[in-house]
Every structure is written in C-alpha cells, then in structure tokens.
Amino acid sequence: MVWQRGQGQSGEFEVYRRHLGHRAMEVGTAATCPTLSSLSCPALRFGLPDSRRHGEFICLSPCNTLAGVTDDFGRVTLLDVGRGIAIRMWKGYRDAQLGWVQVSEGRGERDSSPSAPLPRRHAQFLVIYAPRRGILEVWGTQQGPRVGAFTVGKHCRLLYAGYRLMGVNSVTSQGWLLHTQQVCLFDPATGALRTVTVPFHLALSDKKSERAKDMHLLKRLTTLLKSREVEPDILESEAQSVLLDIKHPAVKKQALESLLANKNAPVSCLTNITRVLLASLKGQDPEAVDEGLFQLSSSQLKLLQLYTDIQQLHSTGEATTDTHTEPTEVAGIEEELARVSPTLQRYAELTSGSRPSVSFAQDSPDASLPVRSFLSQMECEGEEIRVVPGPNADWTQLGSFLFWGCLTGESPLQKVCNTLQKTGISPQQLLSLLLSVWLHREKEVLKKTEAVRHLHTLLTALSSMKGAVEESWDMQCVSPWWQQVRAACVQSHSSAAALLAAIVAHRAAKANITILAETKFQPEWEAVSLELEQWAVCVRQLEDVWSLQTLLCVPPPQGTPGSATPHCSVKALLEGGRGGIADSVAKWVFRQDLAPERLKDMLQRRGEAESTEQPSQPEQGEGEKSQEDPDFNRAAELLVSVCQRFPDSLSPDLLFAHCCWEYVVQWNKDPEEGRYLCWAVEHLKLVSSPHIQLGISSMMWNTFIVKCFSAAAFLIEKVGKAPKDRLCRRDVGMGDCAMTSFLGSCVQLLQILMEADSGVEEVPPPELCVEEVWGGAEGPASLAELALEQKGVHYPLVQHHYLLASLLHTAMTFSLRIKPLSLFDSKGKNAFFRELSSIQLMPSGDMDPGLVSLRQEFLLRVLTGWVTTQREAVEGPGSGSGDKTWPSLCLDLGLLLQVNPDLLRRHLVCELYNQGLDPRAEQVMFEVEDKDVLGSQLLVLTGQRLSYSLLHTQTQTRPAMELLARLPPTLCTWLKAMDPSELGCPSVPLSQTSRLVSRLIEILPENHGQYSLALHLLEAVEDLQRED
C-alpha cells in the first residue's frame, strides 16, 4: 500500500510505505548511506494524486482490508486496500490518532435460527482521537454512523499496535484466527489508562434490524429503571410497553431480569408486568415461543404471588392462635424456662452490654425484605419452589420475612404455614429458615418470652407437613428431621437461643414419639427411644455450653487490654479435643487479668460449695471483700458454676496447667511483659500432680524458654557484665528489666522441674477423665495428655542449668561483672543448652581451685550487693529490694559450686555489721561455725567504728578527747591504724557498738591472742557511752 504525495517536474515522487510494523521511506533524490546498498523503487500499485496534501499516518485494519490515513489538512480518509480507492473522508481532525477495534458476534445470538447454524460475524470500528478538540469518537465501517463519542483530555495518547509478526501479509494470514488488537487511551494528566470496548450490536445500524431495535429498547428500559423519580404507574406502563415491543427472546429475557432485579420497582408493578408478559406469550404460537422465557415468566410470577401473599398475611395484624400445643406440653416448657430463668437473665444482661458496633439499616433483620432479594433466594422448578442456598445473612433475612411475625405473635401462624405448604417448599428448608432466624436473633428472642411458645407451635406445624417426619420411622432409629434441629443447635454460637430451641424441640419430639408409641403399644407403657436419648445428651451439652458462654461474656476489668468476646458452640468444643473447655476458661482468666492467688481463691469456693450444701457464714474479712469487689464475686460465682458442670475437664490441676500455658503463650507474643511469664510459673506451682508439672515444665522449656535463655547467657558472657538495654533488645529480644524478670522465672521453672522429677516416683500418674456427655470429643490431644507423654529429664543436667540461671539472675539483679560460663570447666560448658532428657558428661569430683576462687569471689559480691540493697530499703522504703531469700540462695549455690558455706556466712555477718544492720547480723552469727575467725574479723570492724567515733568525726567532743588520752598506748596506736572509710555505715549508735563488743567477748576464747584487746575496747566503749 502506497500513498503518492505528488509528482514533481522530474517525474520523481516520494513514497511512504508502512507494512506490518516496517516503515521504509524512499526519496528519488535522497543520498544513499555509504555502508548500505542503493535502494530500488518499487512499482507503484495505486495512488491518490494530490500535490498539496501530505500524508502523515497510515493505520491498517486487523483484517488488512481497510486503512485509515491522516494528512496535514486535518482529514481522515478511509481506504479500501483491496480496490485501492478512498471510500470515506472525515474533516476537522488535525493531528488525529487512529486505531481499530474488531468485534465478533457473541455465541448464541444467532442460534435461534431454525436452519443450520450461521457462521459468526465480525464488525470493524474506526477509533479517532482528536487532540485539538479533546474528543474520542468511534465510527462504524464502512459507511456506518458514529456509535460513540467521549470527551477526554487534550493531551492524551491513543495506543494501538496495528501490526503482527514480521513477514506476514494479508495473503499468508488468511487461514489464521483473527486477533483483536486492544485500543487504549492514556491520560498523562491523571495517569489513567482507559480501554475502548465496542459491543457488536452497534454495527447493526440497519433500520430493519430487529436486534438493533431491541437493544435500543433495552437501553431505554435501563435508563428508566435507573431513574428514582418515576411514578409506579408510569414505570409499569413504560416497562410493560417496552417488554411487549421487544421481539428477540434473549433480549426480552434480559429486560425482564433487569426489571425484576431493580430495587425501586414495587412488587405490584412487577407482578402486573410479569402477568401481562406471560399472557402475551400464551397468546402466541407455542412453537414460536421461547421455552426459557416462558419458564422464567411463569416461575417469577409464582414467586411474586408468594411474596405478596406472605406480605399481606404479616400486614393484617391478625394474632397467632395456638391450636397445636397441648396444655401438658406448655406446662413442661414453662417448667424448663423457670429452671433456667435466672441464668438466662444474667446471660441477657452480659450480652446486651457488649461493645457497640456499626450497622446499616438495610442490613438489620427488622428491615423489610426487598422483592429482588426474595427472588434471588428462591427458584421455581415445575410446581415446586426451592430455596437457593446462600450466606447465613441472606437466610436469616428470608427467615425473618417468613417467620418473625409468627414468632412474635403478630401474624397468623397457621395461615402462613398453609401458604408455604401449598407452594411446595420442602419442610426441611422451612425448618432451616426457622432455625436460622431463631438462632441469629438471640437478643430479640430473649426479650420476648412468648416467642418460645410460638416456636413450639411452629415446630409442631412444620413437623406435621408431608415429608417432614417419615411415616415409617422406627423409634429405635434417629429421625433425620429432629437430627437437623440438633445439628443446627450444636453448630450455633448463640448458646441461649440454641438451648431454648433444643428444649422446645425435645418436647415436640417427645410428644410425637408418645403418639407413635400409643399406636403400637399399650398406653400405660412409657416410650423409650434412641431419639429421646439423643435429645437428653444434646440438651445437657447445650446447658454446659450456655453456662460456659455466660462466663466468657463477663467483661474484663477496666484498664486491661480488651478483646472481642469469644463464642463457643457444642461442635467447636467437641472438635477442640478434651482440652478445649479448659483452654477456653484459661483464655478468659487471661482476659480478666486474674492473678494466680485470686484464681486459687475462686477454686477454693468451689471446694466449699461441693463440701456442703448450706453456705456457711462468711468471715468478717470475706464480707468486707464481697462488699468492696462485687465484680470479683460475680465472676467467682460464674466460674464455680462452670466448674461444677465440668468437674473433670476443669479440675484444678488441668485449669492451672492451661492457665500456665496461656500466660506463657502470651509472654512469647510480648516478651516485655515479664509478669506474664512470672504468673505462668506461679500457675504451674499450683499444679499438685508432679507428672503434669514435669510435662508442662519440659514443654515450656523446650518451646519458649531455652532459646532466649541461651541468648541471654551468651550475651552476658560476651559483655562480661549486666548488659545495657540496647544490647538486650538486640540479642535477646527484650529490655534489661524484662530480661532480669525472665531469668528469675527461669530459676523458678527449673526448680519446679527438679522438684517434679523427684516426686514422680512417689505418686502414680493421674487418670484424665472427661464428662460422660463430652466423651465424644475428637480433636488434638489435650495439654495434659501431651504433658504426660513427655520424656523424663536428667536431674543433674536440670540442676546444672538451674545453677547457670541463678548466676545469670544474680548478675542482672545486682549489676555485677561476671563471665558466667567461665565459672565452669569444659565439661560443664558443653552440657549447657542440651535436651534436658539427654545424658551428658557432667563435671564430677573436686573442681579446679582457680574456678572455686572465682566462684567464691562472685558469691561474696552477691552478698555484698544484697546487703547494700537492704540498707537502701531501711533508709528509703521502696528504694531497694526487700527480698530476703538471696542469702539462703547464695548458700545453696555455694554447696553446688564447692564454695565453703561458712565463709559465706562470715562474710554476710561482716557485711551486715558493716552496713549498720546489727540485729540481722546477730541472727546470722549463730549459724557461723568458725567463731574464732569471725571474732577476729568483727574485732577489726569494731575498731573501725570506735576509731571513727574518736578520731575521724568532724566535731570531736571534749569527753572523747579526754577518753582518748586515758586509753592504753597499745589500744590508741591500734585505733589510729584503723581505716573507718571501709565502713558502709560508720555512724552507728554507741549502744550497737557496745553490744557488738559484748558479742565479741562471748565468741572469743580467753586464750585468744586478741582477747585482751577486746576487753580494752569494751572498757573504752562503756566509758564513751557514760560520757555521752
């Protein structure tokens, strides 16, 4: 294809050629490139002579039959490539950009032809973008009208790839499948990329084309339905006229579906239009009527009539008359309601106080069901209507439309049931809808006490329908009808509504079985069936879940991190395994932020309630606590009630074990909360079974603890002291304060592990039982079962880790310099962080004196640090640690580290006297074995005190100076050699120093070399005390 610009004086012309992405420009007078061969002029196939017009761009159509050409005159010319002529021209399109869209006829649009299927047709549209005018136009070819025009920006770019593979022309591509190139418009101002899509029917521009006319009518109907200000009468007449004028069955079907899906059209309008359309179809030749359209019209008219009938029954205001319920059945239901009424009221109070949430009016169950929603959820097959399965929200809304008026007593129940029965809807689907609305509208149900009686009437009416309860049903078999009710109740998270439904259904099933038994047996025989046994188990399970759900609905105290209230069901608990119940209560304990001791107090109330039926008079302290903390008492009562319903699943050991695991899981999520791990260990201490303790401790250590523990040990070993907060967060994942708490919990956990390992041989393993009605629980193994399956531990290895944990904890607590791993030999280092159940080569025999010296030095610094904190605690309450277990811990560690414990006691006595804590020092002094060495050490300390009082005070009194002059020269020289700066608390009352000297004389033997010096000190102190 060529475009001839014009012929010059020399007869030469310029040729612009574009073929499948290759563009070549040949100019007769142009110079050739030195590196390329000279170009040859191709033969001119055809041309459009125009000396002044300059062609700018040629765009070939996808089928290679047409081409669009732009020029510098602002024209767009349509060329017929095969004939070589211009067949159409548009003007006023300067700098235009072109593209082609090829559309294939949709499948099924020509299938209605009675003859052989016709081949699919294709249509081509020319897309023109005029930047100067800022519009995008779509034109039908070859002589078609403009089918679309869009206002766009003036700086856009039309993107069109109008070519295929290199070397493929119109001849070689004839046998290929047609490929439609996508036309896109890019707007640089907004960055948007828009595609151009043209429907096939726009090519049917013939005035005699029924298809085009039908599409125009459909478009007209769509515009009418989108308008919200149209009166119903006008909408009905216009839509009816359009539907009758449309000829093509597929388009008419599409128009009817659009009309029925409209949310603004009233049901009367839809009914009249559908009735007229069905009448017109019946008046036509049966062979010419489309079967699909006829069935759609007939089924939708039947559904519209059902919607209208149900709506009229609910709007009449006729109350429900109970004709199915026997007085004995009503009395039984009332008795059951009276039994559960107190807990029902408490449950309703707890659930009504839940946190507010956003909801929309159209999503409310009280909102009227739109007719389009009703039609979308129902389908008609022949003479029967079937409910289409859908989301729970849709079923609840449909069930509310059908049955809520009957449940509230505002609609005639029997008439509604008769209307539904005539439609052919299966009783099973009606039962599902009834249970759906009952279970999902629990709050409204609990507020309407009469709804339970109406539910019983509805269940009885539905059970009496044909196809509900099989006539051949044997009492020793499970009825599918009542099994459907039980399945819905056990799956529901609305425990109170499910329990009420089960109580009602149990009564209805019992009455049904009684009637059936009277026809087969004598009236005085009581019917015993498998069905009633199933109902007894189901009701008991639902009562248990209801009690548990009431406990879970207790809101957490203020100031604790709140979360959504968990919901449980019978099915969820059965699938959760035997530990699911204890796990749910443990999660509730965590949300309530209950300390282990408070939980223990709650469970003690359970023991008191089980031991006596008459509640004893509370003590005065308990009465005051009840008045001060009513929320605690209410929670305790609910927990005791749940534990009484689950005596095996919620035994104290199992509950404490699950609480321990829940807290350690929460600590693993947030290691900064060291309190969680501390409380987990406290819960573990309350477990009485050493077997469960051993298993839980091992699982905690292997799953959560050992990784952080080893990281902390290596970090302290690397730094050589208590690391800073930044290093702790980088290597261990928690701050320095949290790591100190973590190491303390590790010490307690390993101690529990050692004690449990020592006690497992003394008591047999516990038997894990479960309540009879919950014996069918299937799911993962419970926590207690996993604990009992754990391997035993190697006691020396656990003790080895306990020793390391204690060293790390003391180093972090008192900020001491230490390399903890350097206090062990190579065997000890290799044994760390191994499986606690493995047998490792442990250190044995006497330790290297150098290591013992390092250990001794460390323990002495620990005692010094602890005594310093005790002094700070005395001087300022709250400023120091009041923990008094550190001395005993150091003594225990001394035995394990082969350090002389008597040396530690002597050092502790000296440090206590050094800090002025004389009463505590006297208590420890009795435990010291080597009194001579202790006496020598205390003699020096006494001399330092007296030296400070006589020689180093800022204001020396005259009596003190006179006393100093009267002292023996030997004593005076000895006092001057003392260094009072070594005293932590030099200013000590003379009475304490006098008592200390008296203790010295008591513990020193008379033949001791410094006994006489002690006597001189006693005289000096007494004289100084008399002078004061």
What are the tens digits of pLDDT across the range 291-313? 999 999 999 999 999 999 999 99
Answer whether 827's CB lies under 8 Å from 842's CB. Answer: yes
Q: DSSP letters along 15-43, please? A: EEEEETTEEEEE-TTPPPPTTSPPP-PPP
- Closest CA relative to residue 889, chosen from 881, 901, 880, 878: 901
Answer whether 361's CB lies under 8 Å from 367's CB. Answer: yes
Query: 65-79, 621-635, 729-743: lowest mean pLDDT where?
Result: 621-635
Answer whether 541's CB lies under 8 Å from 774's CB. Answer: yes
What are the tens digits of pLDDT across the range 871-902? 887 765 544 445 678 899 999 999 999 999 99
Average pLDDT over residues 427-450: 92
Token duo for residue 906: 């002597």
Residue 558 pLDDT: 78
Answer whether 534's CB lies under 8 Å from 486's CB. Answer: yes
Residue 686 pLDDT: 96
Query: What is the C-alpha separation between 968 and 974, in angstroms, rounded?
Result: 10
Residue 118 pLDDT: 65
Residues 6+ apart with CB under 8 A from 643: 603, 606, 650, 655
Query: What is the C-alpha separation between 585 and 645, in angstroms, rounded?
Result: 13
Query: What is the C-alpha separation between 712 and 723, in angstroms, rounded?
Result: 9
Answer whether 828's CB lies under 8 Å from 842's CB. Answer: yes
Q: Is the pLDDT of residue 403 over 90?
A: yes
Residue 518 pLDDT: 66
Please give the share of the chain, as a percent, with pLDDT higher than 90: 50
Average pLDDT over residues 192-212: 77
Query: What is the C-alpha separation between 168 and 704, in angstroms, rounded?
Result: 68
DSSP state letter for 967: S
pLDDT band at 91 (very low <50, low <70, confident <90, very high): very high
Q: Is the pLDDT of residue 629 over 60?
A: yes
Residue with tokens 């359209």: 293
Residue 964 pLDDT: 73
DSSP state letter for 228: S
Alpha helices in 246-389 (DSSP H): 249-260, 267-282, 291-315, 327-352, 371-377
Average pLDDT over residues 395-406: 92
Residue 525: C-alpha distances to residues 480, 520, 532 (Å): 25, 10, 15
In this predicted model, which residue has the larger pLDDT, 473 or 122? 122
- Closest CA relative to residue 102, chosen from 153, 166, 155, 164: 164
Query: What is the C-alpha separation between 533 and 477, in angstroms, rounded?
Result: 11
Residue 622 pLDDT: 43
Query: What is the C-alpha separation between 232 and 266, in angstroms, rounded?
Result: 7
Partners of 137 in the β-ladder:
128, 149
In this predicted model, which residue has the larger pLDDT, 544 or 943? 544
Residue 441: C-alpha distances to residues 364, 368, 397, 686, 952 (Å): 10, 15, 10, 42, 87
What does residue 60 show for φ and ψ, rounded to 5 degrees?
Answer: -85, 140
Residue 512 pLDDT: 80
Residue 23: C-alpha distances to residues 20, 44, 883, 1010 (Å): 8, 16, 92, 119
What are the tens digits of pLDDT across the range 139-157? 998 888 888 899 999 999 9
Query: What is the C-alpha separation between 804 and 820, in angstroms, rounded?
Result: 7
Q: DSSP letters along 316-349, please? A: S-PPP---S--HHHHHHHHHHHHHHHHHHHHHHH
**E strand or H helix at 85:** strand 85-91
**E strand or H helix at 890:** helix 886-896
Q: Is the pLDDT of residue 608 over 80?
A: no
Residues 6+ apart with CB under 8 A from 726: none
pLDDT band at 131 (very low <50, low <70, confident <90, very high): very high
Residues 6+ apart with CB under 8 A from 350: 550, 553, 554, 555
Q: How confident is the prediction for the chain on average, in pLDDT?
A: 84
Residue 625 pLDDT: 43
Answer whether 67's CB lies under 8 Å from 58's CB. Answer: yes
What are the tens digits of pLDDT across the range 670-725? 999 999 999 999 999 999 999 999 999 999 999 999 999 999 999 999 999 999 99
Instruction: Decide: residue 176, CB within 10 A, 0-12 exposed, 13-18 middle, 19+ buried.
Output: exposed
2-7, strands of its sheet edge to edge? 2-7, 13-19, 22-26
Residue 384 pLDDT: 86
- Closest CA relative to residue 87, chosen from 118, 65, 103: 65
What are the tens digits of pLDDT across the range 958-986? 666 777 777 788 788 888 888 888 888 88
Answer whether 743's CB lies under 8 Å from 735's CB. Answer: no
Q: Which residues of 411-431 are buried (b: 16+ CB within 10 A; e: fewer)?
A: bbbbbbbebbbebebbbbbbb
Residue 487 pLDDT: 95
Average pLDDT over residues 982-1011: 83
Query: What is the C-alpha separation between 325 and 454, in angstroms, rounded?
Result: 9
Query: What is the C-alpha separation between 491 and 501, in angstroms, rounded?
Result: 13
Residue 199: C-alpha distances to residues 65, 106, 123, 195, 790 (Å): 21, 9, 10, 13, 70
Q: Work out the number of other CB atoms within 10 angstroms of the CB of residue 1004.
A: 22
Q: Work out the number of other CB atoms within 10 angstroms of the CB of residue 177.
A: 5
Residues 6+ apart with CB under 8 A from 474: none
Query: What is the C-alpha separation between 49 and 2, in angstroms, rounded?
Result: 11
pTM: 0.75
Residue 207 pLDDT: 53
Q: Which amino acid is at 927?
A: E
What are the tens digits of pLDDT across the range 11-37? 333 333 333 333 333 333 344 445 666
Q: Is the peptide bond before 142 cis (omega within 30 degrees of 0)?
A: yes
Partners of 91 in the β-ladder:
75
Query: What is the C-alpha separation between 504 and 501, in angstroms, rounded?
Result: 5
What are the tens digits of pLDDT across the range 345-382? 888 888 875 555 544 445 455 567 899 999 999 998 87
Token duo for residue 517: 């038994």
Q: Is the pLDDT of residue 504 over 90?
A: yes
Residues 6+ apart with CB under 8 A from 45: 1, 2, 84
